[in-house]
């Protein structure tokens, strides 16, 4: 078995993505800070969230169809290059103090372009590394993502204080261009394109029909894409309210809670890389169970800062185990030639449900205590994880090969 560290194609993709992920963390912090400084309006921030979200929901299914064709490298390199140019344009708009409308417009275009990158990237990784190295590849991607979550906000804050904010957009643009250049040298194995000549709508229907007929996969998508995202979406709202209104730790205390989640996730990624869990479904169930347990305990001890920090660490660990496990299971279950379309179903549902979960959580804690809501969320997350025992353990799993020639 070849080491993943000798896989040139994966290393090029991973390195390029790691740079662009850190740049994107700068970008998100800089956008939010710029808008609130310019307007002082939470509504303006809400509009920016819509600018990020709506294009992904609308265009990711189309991106999934294209990702199933033998053009994954072109999609990834092309979208990164376009995003690099767009970041330079945003930096010029901010430098010249242009109307916020033009900044919003550029964000919408950038988010639209990114909707074509994610399905291609998700479909390419299993082809590049093979199923035996897939878990390690996903864990390494998670490691760099969590390191960016820890370092990105801190470095962005320092840079915003020490320089002009438009410079962060330039840095993000450069990170995208570096990623695009690395992707040009990647070689991705081809897949069967016999259905690629079908009409776009027909291919979208094929992906959806595959999900609906494959009950185990449908259950996984409902749990991982809808239920978990719905109940975890308002987590940042809960943390903010707890630190500001309940235990009064201020922004520094909130930062430690956020960092604890990322540190827990980083530990989880290292555990996955060391292949502590051989069975991915057990890893998902365990991850979701400790996610739920941490939320439940955090809800009970909501007035104790040390308990909140400990629960945040455990929550991050669970999030890492569950998310990497779900991604690996999905990539393993779905045939190569359908992975882009089916993946876009999961990504679209996940993106679509987050704003509703956030709005629900933000509304309900006006009428119900945060502790009670965290307990409810913990119970629902844990039960959702345990429910995966039914299709994956108690019932005989349907093999994806049975569906390869269905459409």
Please identify, among 185, 218, 240, the residue that sits at the C-terminal boundary of a domain: 185
* Position with higher pLDDT, 49 vs 313: 313
**pLDDT attached to residue 196:** 55
Same domain, 216 and 329: yes
Q: What percent of the chain shows pLDDT beyond 90?
A: 37
Same domain, 209 and 333: yes
Same domain, 211 and 352: yes
What confidence category does residue 358 fall into, taking pLDDT thresholds of 50, 70 and 90? confident
**Residue 71: pLDDT over 60:** yes
Q: Are 292 and 381 in contact (CB under 8 A)?
A: yes
Same domain, 225 and 363: yes
What confidence category does residue 268 fall into, taking pLDDT thresholds of 50, 70 and 90? very high
Same domain, 279 and 349: yes
Q: What is the Cα 298 distance to its own chain's centre?
A: 24
The mean pLDDT value of the chain amounts to 85
pTM recorded for the entire structure: 0.75
**Residue 123: pLDDT over 90:** no
Which of these ranges, 170-184, 228-242, 303-317, has the smallest mean pLDDT? 228-242
Nearest CA among 385, 372, 226 for reference residue 296: 372
**Residue 395: pLDDT over 70:** no
**pLDDT attached to residue 195:** 56
Same domain, 370 and 293: yes
Same domain, 167 and 118: yes
Convert the pLDDT of each residue in 147-158 to its tens digit: 887 888 778 878
Asked if the structure places residue 77 within a domain, the reply is: yes
- CA atoms of 24 and 84, how far apart (whole Å): 11
Asked if the structure places residue 60 within a domain, the reply is: yes
Asked if the structure places residue 404 within a domain, the reply is: no
Q: What is the Cα 176 distance to its own chain's centre?
A: 18
**pLDDT attached to residue 201:** 66
Asked if the structure places residue 399 within a domain, the reply is: no
Asked if the structure places residue 196 within a domain, the reply is: no
Same domain, 99 and 128: yes
**Residue 251: pLDDT over 70:** no
- Expressed as residue numbers, the domain containing 239 is 202-394
CATH code of residue 55: 1.20.1250.20
Please identify, among 128, 159, 185, the residue that sits at the C-terminal boundary of a domain: 185
Asked if the structure places residue 407 within a domain, the reply is: no
Same domain, 207 and 133: no
Tally of domains in the chain: 2
User: In this structure, is the dihedral angle defined by the CA atoms of residues 357, 362, 368 and 371, taken in order, positive or negative?
Assistant: positive
Same domain, 210 and 359: yes
**pLDDT attached to residue 191:** 79
What confidence category does residue 404 fall into, taking pLDDT thresholds of 50, 70 and 90? very low
What confidence category does residue 197 fall into, taking pLDDT thresholds of 50, 70 and 90? low
Same domain, 307 and 389: yes
Asked if the structure places residue 282 within a domain, the reply is: yes
Q: Are 19 and 80 in contact (CB under 8 A)?
A: no
**Residue 405: pLDDT over 60:** no
**pLDDT attached to residue 396:** 52
Same domain, 322 and 258: yes
Nearest CA among 19, 54, 323 for reference residue 147: 19
Cα 184 to Cα 123, 188, 191, 300, distances in angstroms: 17, 11, 19, 51
Q: How many CA atoms lie within 13 A of 184 on its CB side?
A: 9
Asked if the structure places residue 249 within a domain, the reply is: yes
**Residue 182: pLDDT over 90:** yes
**Residue 190: pLDDT over 80:** yes
Please identify, among 124, 153, 185, the residue that sits at the C-terminal boundary of a domain: 185
């Amino acid at each position: 078995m070849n080491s993943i560290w000798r896989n040139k194609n994966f290393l090029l993709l991973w390195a390029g993505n790691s740079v662009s992920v850190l740049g994107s963390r700068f970008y998100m912090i800089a956008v939010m800070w710029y808008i609130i400084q310019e307007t002082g309006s939470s509504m303006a921030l809400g509009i920016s969230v819509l600018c990020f979200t709506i294009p992904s929901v609308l265009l990711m299914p189309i991106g999934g169809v294209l990702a199933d064709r033998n053009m994954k490298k072109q999609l990834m390199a092309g979208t990164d290059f376009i995003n690099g140019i767009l970041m330079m344009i945003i930096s010029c708009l901010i430098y010249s103090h242009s109307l916020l409308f033009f900044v919003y417009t550029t964000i919408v275009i950038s988010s639209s372009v990114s909707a074509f990158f994610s399905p291609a990237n998700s479909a390419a990784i299993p082809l590049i590394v093979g199923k035996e190295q897939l878990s390690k590849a996903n864990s390494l991607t998670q490691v760099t993502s969590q390191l960016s979550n820890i370092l990105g906000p801190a470095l962005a804050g320092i840079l915003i204080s020490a320089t002009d904010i438009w410079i962060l957009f330039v840095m993000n643009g450069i990170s995208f261009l570096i990623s695009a250049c690395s992707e040009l040298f990647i070689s991705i194995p081809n897949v069967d394109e016999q259905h690629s000549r079908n009409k776009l709508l027909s291919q979208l229907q094929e992906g959806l029909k595959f999900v609906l007929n494959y009950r185990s996969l449908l259950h996984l998508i409902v749990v991982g894409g809808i239920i978990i995202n719905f109940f975890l979406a308002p987590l940042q709202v809960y943390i903010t309210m707890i630190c500001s209104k309940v235990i009064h730790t201020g922004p520094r205390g909130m930062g430690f809670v956020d960092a604890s989640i990322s540190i827990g996730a980083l530990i989880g990624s290292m555990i996955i890389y060391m292949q502590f869990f051989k069975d991915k479904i057990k890893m998902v169930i365990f991850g979701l169970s400790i996610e739920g347990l941490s939320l439940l305990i955090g809800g009970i001890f909501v007035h104790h800062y040390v308990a909140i920090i400990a629960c945040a660490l455990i929550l991050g660990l669970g999030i890492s185990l569950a998310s990497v496990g779900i991604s690996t299971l999905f990539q393993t279950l779905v045939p190569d030639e359908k992975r882009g379309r089916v993946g876009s179903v999961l990504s679209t549902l996940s993106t679509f449900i987050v704003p509703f979960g956030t709005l629900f959580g933000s509304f309900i804690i006006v009428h119900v205590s945060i502790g009670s809501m965290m307990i409810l969320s913990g119970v629902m997350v844990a039960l959702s994880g345990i429910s995966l025992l039914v299709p994956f353990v108690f019932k005989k799993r349907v093999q994806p090969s049975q569906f390869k020639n269905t459409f």
